[in-house]
Amino acid sequence: MNNKHLACLVVGFLIIAMMQWTNVSHQKLKSAQDLEVMSRSAFDSAVITRVAEQRKMVILKNKTESKRNYLNEWSPYINQIKNAQVGEALINMKIKEAKIITLSQVFDSFDREDGSAIQSRLNAQLVLEDDYVKVFNWLAKFEASVPAARVSSCKLSKGQSGNDLRMDLSLDLPITNDGKAKNTKA
The total number of structural domains in the chain stands at 2
Question: What confidence tens digit (pLDDT) does each residue in 43-58 have?
Answer: 999 999 999 999 999 9
- Interval 80-110: pLDDT, tens: 888 899 999 999 999 999 999 999 999 999 8
* Assigned domain for 69 exists: no
C-alpha distances out from residue 101 to 68, 81, 92, 134, 148, Å = 41, 24, 11, 10, 24
Q: Does 183 reside within a domain?
A: no
CATH number where 91 lies = 3.30.70.60
Handedness of CA 44, 45, 50, 55 (dihedral sign): positive
Provide the domain limits for residue 42. Answer: 1-63
Q: Identify whether residues 154 and 86 lie together within a single domain.
A: yes
pTM to 2 decimals? 0.60
